[in-house]
Structure 1
Amino acid sequence: MVAAPSSDRLASVPARRVFSRRWNRALRRYRSTEFTWMLLLGLLTVVIGAGMYQFVGIVPVSALIIPMVMANSVLGPRSLPWFVVFVLGVMVVVVAATAEEALDGRRVGGIVVAFLVGLVILVSSFRRSQLGVAGARGESMLVDLRDRITKQGLIPKLPDAWYAESVTRSAGASSFAGDFMVGSLSRDGSRFQVVVVDVSGKGEQAGTRSLLLSGAFGGLLGAMPPAEFLPAANDYLLRQDWLEGFATAVHLSVALDTGEFEIRSAGHPPAVQMKAGSGRWAVHESEGPILGLMPDAEFKAVCGRLNHGDALLMFTDGLVETPTRDISLGIDKLLGQGERLLRSGFEKGAVRLINQSPAVNDDRALFLLHRR
């Protein structure tokens, strides 16, 4: 027969557990909400207000701008307006209580500046309410989007007999660009595919569309036969029904064991191949309409072979076209630079080539594939 536990233990143990669970739940809730920041910034506001009241003329009215600016970075659009009203209310109360002692032009100027800063923060908060996140969280989301675009543009590791390199530069040194590339290696490692895309627009204007397209094209690239990739990408763009929903692209599919390749283009600058035997460049012109403009588009393939020592370049028009120069002249200039630069080796050749191109207000992307 087992002795029953005492009634005191039965009562005390559940009570401790219930209290511990409630305490941990409250901590998690406060960490996940803005309560802690509201409390800290509220205390800071009260301390500054008390300093303004106690040390008139020493603590300026503009000191209350500090908690408002901090709140603009950490509080969400729902609680930020109420906090700004609270700060301005503290300022009004303190100024009214000390108006007889010191209310000169300098103090009035500080009050006006504080109200203007609060107004700017309120306006930005109302605009931010469409997104529903605070300033720091919104910035972290943009950083995450940028990192995802960069990660999707990474070229998979190829066999030792092959060297691949990709470089993307955005207009105005922005972290977002309308040019991107996506690579895919088959499961058995026998076929490599890459697509270089130029979305309409540039910089931040095309950054959101390029993010969406890079994810969609990355899924299509590894899941569909090479001949069906561009038609599927074209259908996807047509379904989006964007006002500026067109894009150009060049698609490469190469068998890594034989070096045989197929190139298909959708209104994109042609790919170029440097043949090690002759040391000359061959331009592979392939026909195809721009993506997102017409349904049931057909894309003809240009076939070739990469022998040992050969190299293949694919790029966007920002690298070869300027407002004062035709694209054909830009391609000739790029090939001349490539012939000189690549004599010293293909390692980091794409970076050296894109650094030699003139700085223009357009996104640029370059892909280099070399068979050792």
Structure 2
Amino acid sequence: MVATAPVERTAGDRPRSRPRRAVLAFWIRHIAMQSEAFLLPALIAICVVIGVFAHFHNVWVTPSMVVLPLLLGGFLLRFTAQLVLLVVSALVVILDAVTTHPERPTPGTILLIGATALIVLVMSRERVRLGVRGTRGESMLFDLRERLYAQGRVPRLPPDWHTELALKSAGGQSFAGDFLIAARTDVSLTDEEKQPGRLQLGLVDVSGKGLQAGTRALLLSGAFGGLLGSVPVPQFLTAANRYLLRQGWDEGFATAVHVVIDLATGEYECYSAGHPPIAQLDAGSGTWSLAQTPGPVLGVLPEAEYKPTRGRLGYGDGLMLFTDGLIELPGRDLSVGLDRLLGVAGTLQTKGFAGGAARVIDAVARKTNDDRALVLVWRTRPTD
């Protein structure tokens, strides 16, 4: 007789309950909850259960509760599956009225179920146009909005340079036709302080306002953000103009200002495409001056040329970029809006630039129903 040694189970041979539960949870969340083969029967079963309970417990459960699976179906099912669910819900209500309660359904119940079904079907058709179900469309828009904001985040700058952005859309919407793109180029990755490179800023105002211009702004921000720092500085607006022309939009023009600042010397170049002038604060005199930079708007002329104006920012100086939503006033000339803007900006030197972008845009554009954006760039001494 040969003795057999007991077989020892290693940790890898033991039943893995936790991974199985994780797989089951993943299947329910990402496969079952997204499959009509699971969702439609489940919602039909809920309708049937409501009908049964309404038959025996009409105090706590009423046939009008079928609006709950109808609402869930509006978020989770396709249009044709919602029609099937609507038919089942109607049969549940009719059978309840025929079998037990001839006085039901009341006109209020019919109105409630009908209105709910109509709203759900209309919303579902809008989602069918987008090609998504549930709240994925809202999630996609949220992600796109975050990407738009990420394009406008200014990279980390040397201690003597500071920037602020204030952006408000028409009607308080989350999307606007104004956006900022930024890049720090020609910088040494090993020693940013000794070789600060250049800061490139692009402030763009897409035609239209609010949600109407927001979709175009989302597309252009990604395209222009890819061009910024990838093409030579004098060719940025030219490349952006060609890209916009290729889109063939009926309302496809845009204005833009492109500023390139040497972070070591403070010298800058400004290119403009039909954009309002930029304003520079001279710390010595305490006055703001406008720098006009002529140039055609983007998306109109196929062969457009953009020439720069040059200047220099010393310690204590500031630069202000803004869109026309801050200076356009109904029935008034643009010069009136410019004077008002510069008057409010005159307080920045006394109150400080920090938080100044929001203060200026709130004071100037209270009654303006347009997208507006303002960018402040200022330079301080390294010891400040």
Same fold (TM over 0.5): yes
Moved more, 28-37 or 184-193: 28-37
Alignment correspondent of 1:327 = 334
Alignment correspondent of 1:350 = 357
**1:126-150 Cα deviation digits (max 9, x unpaired):** 3321222123111111111111111
1:246-261 equivalent positions in 2, closer than 5 A? 246-261=253-268
1:54 corresponds to 2:56: yes
Gaps of 5+ in 2: 1-12, 189-195
Q: 1:96 aligns with which of 71, 74, 98?
A: 98
User: d(CA) in 1 for partners of 2:54 and 2:40?
Assistant: 21
**Preserved CA contact (<8 Å) 1:78 1:129:** no
Gaps of 5+ in 1: 1-12
**1:138-197 Cα deviation digits (max 9, x unpaired):** 111111111111121111111101011111100111100000011110143310000111
Alignment correspondent of 2:87 = 85
Alignment correspondent of 2:183 = 184
Give the 3-state SS of the residue equivalent to 1:114 in structure 2: helix
Q: 2:29 aligns with which of 28, 31, 34?
A: 31
* Superposition TM-score, scaled by structure 1 size: 0.88
Alignment correspondent of 1:366 = 374
Alignment correspondent of 2:143 = 144
Alignment correspondent of 1:9 = none
Alignment correspondent of 1:3 = none
1:276-355 equivalent positions in 2, closer than 5 A? 276-355=283-362
CA apart distance, 1:241: 0.5
Give the 3-state SS of the residue equivalent to 1:192 in structure 2: strand
CA apart distance, 1:22: 10
1:161 corresponds to 2:160: yes
Alignment correspondent of 1:220 = 227
CA apart distance, 1:74: 3.6
**1:240-292 Cα deviation digits (max 9, x unpaired):** 11111100001100100001100011011000000011111111100100100
User: d(CA) in 2 for partners of 1:179 and 1:123?
Assistant: 31
User: d(CA) in 1 for partners of 2:99 and 2:22?
Assistant: 42
Alignment correspondent of 2:193 = none
Number of aligned positions between the proteins: 358
Give the 3-state SS of the residue equivalent to 2:271 in structure 1: strand
- The verdict on how the C-alpha distance between 1:23 and 1:351 changes in structure 2, with shifts beyond 3 A counting, is closer
Alignment correspondent of 2:10 = none
Report sequence identity in percent: 45
Alignment correspondent of 2:171 = 172
Alignment correspondent of 2:270 = 263
Alignment correspondent of 2:131 = 132
CA apart distance, 1:349: 1.1
2:210 aligned partner, one-letter code: G
User: d(CA) in 2 for partners of 1:165 and 1:126?
Assistant: 42
**Preserved CA contact (<8 Å) 1:76 1:133:** no
Give the 3-state SS of the residue equivalent to 1:194 in structure 2: strand
2:53 aligned partner, one-letter code: G
2:378 aligned partner, one-letter code: H
**1:287-319 Cα deviation digits (max 9, x unpaired):** 100100011101121011111110000000001
**Preserved CA contact (<8 Å) 2:127 2:137:** no
CA apart distance, 1:30: 4.0
Moved more, 334-343 or 37-46: 37-46
**Preserved CA contact (<8 Å) 1:342 1:349:** no
**1:71-127 Cα deviation digits (max 9, x unpaired):** 323444454333333323322332332243x337xx233123312321331232233
User: d(CA) in 1 for partners of 2:95 and 2:22?
Assistant: 38
* Superposition TM-score, scaled by structure 2 size: 0.85
Moved more, 214-223 or 42-51: 42-51
CA apart distance, 1:65: 1.3
